[in-house]
Amino acid sequence: MILVTGGAGFIGANFVLDWLAQSDETVINLDKLTYAGNLENLATLTGVAQHIFVQGDIGDSALVAALLAKHQPRAVINFAAESHVDRSIHGPEDFIQTNVVGTFRFLEAVRAYWNGLAAEAKAGFRLLHVSTDEVYGSLAKEDAAFSETHQYEPNSPYSASKAASDHLVRAWHHTYGLPVLTTNCSNNYGPFHFPEKLIPLMIVNALAGKPLPVYGDGQQIRDWLYVKDHCSAIRRVLEAGVLGETYNVGGWNEKPNLDIVHTVCRLLDELQPRADGKPYQEQITYVTDRPGHDRRYAIDASKIERELGWKPAETFETGIRKTVQWYLQHQDWVSHVQSGAYRDWVEKNYDGRAA
């Protein structure tokens, strides 16, 4: 069996669902169930014996140690993290506690478990740490995309905390021999994406007749990766990745944020037109930019293709259409995750930003 942390969040839940759709290997799913962790993401696994959910924190060393001792997983995939830049600007301490202190405590618990394994199990064990391209900082338009050897230059409390977690994972490999693998992904999108992030926020606000807030001039460039492609990359790295190595995972889809918003609007015009017949694009509003907003991220995903034979199956055009269709078909899910806490957050982040 495997242990997945953060498996009720956006990427983690997609990974668990895809894993169990393709394998009968049991998943122990550890998630703290903070604002972005949602058991409704895993509703289709109700009654599935191969899915064992445990509510808890990766920083709870005793709990992690007990789970490892009881279930004896052959691999651990760590998705657990605070992961939203705007939230890190408003409240950085949570990011330090989860992404830095929590990762340290988790690594120590995993190391103790690994050291106690019999020789064969010890040799086969893997810890895969899931990270982000934001640790590399920002790129100018003419710069080459981020490779695995690019210097770390994090610019937000979130990316700094993730950079720290990456460094800890690397150090535990080189100092203690812990068999680790690291992936750094570009911007994910797809089903179960919490509606504070760009694409789901645009879909949800558009359907509700609310403004579509675009930071600054909307020309911040990101590489977009369909979440199920990301999940397949993680499975491949877990299967064949070289210990101690980092693999960048991207979608080869660099696009400015404003282009993304226009694409979402066009798809909604086609799939669920406004009652008044006007285009959703009319709802776009420009708001004050995020402090320290990185201008461009771009992932060079050639290493994982060259060495492990992985590349994304979806183009942005196919992936974004599937994503918009999913949100249109799952509006009950959207309404359930838009709790009072979520509404308070949106108001805190966007209220008062001058047009």
Active site residues: 133-134, 158
- Exposed (0-12), middle (13-18) or buried (19+): which is 204, by Cβ within 10 Å? buried
Classify strands 75-78 and 126-132 as parallel, antiparallel or unpaired.
parallel
Query: Phi and psi (nearest 5°) for 187?
Result: -60, 120
Query: Phi and psi (nearest 5°) for 138?
Result: -120, 150
Spatial contact of 3 and 68, defined as CB atoms under 8 Å apart: yes
How far is it, in rounded angstroms, from Cα 44 to Cα 74?
A: 25
* Three-class DSSP labels, 180-247: EEEEEECEEECCCCCCCCHHHHHHHHHHCCCCEEEECCCCCEEEEEEHHHHHHHHHHHHHHCCCCCEE
Residue entry with tokens 């703290």: 32
Strand partners, 310: none
Spatial contact of 86 and 131, defined as CB atoms under 8 Å apart: no
Spatial contact of 151 and 163, defined as CB atoms under 8 Å apart: no
